[in-house]
Amino acid sequence: MAYVINQDCISCGTCEGECPVGAISEGDGKFVIDANTCIDCGACAGVCPTSAINPQ
């Protein structure tokens, strides 16, 4: 299961740099995770200042 970013995202971009496979990109009003690329490592969730990233 891929991780997802919810509406608590403040578009800070911290998670994007932590993703080892480049699955995170800036979306419309918040960052998004490509479920087909995500490897479920959780690195992004560990650095999110608003806890907006969770397992799907």
Is 7 in a helix, a strand, or coil?
Answer: coil
User: Three-state SS string across 14-55, please?
Assistant: HHHHHCCCCCEEECCCCEEECCCCCCCCCHHHHHCCCCCEEE
What pLDDT sits at residue 1?
A: 82
Model pTM score: 0.92
What pLDDT sits at residue 26?
A: 97
CA distance 13 to 9: 9
Question: Domains in the chain, start-ordered, CATH in brackets?
Answer: 3-55 (3.30.70.20)
pLDDT tens for each residue of the chain, 56 residues long: 899 999 999 999 999 999 999 999 999 999 999 999 999 999 999 999 999 999 99
Which residues face 5 on adjacent strands? 53
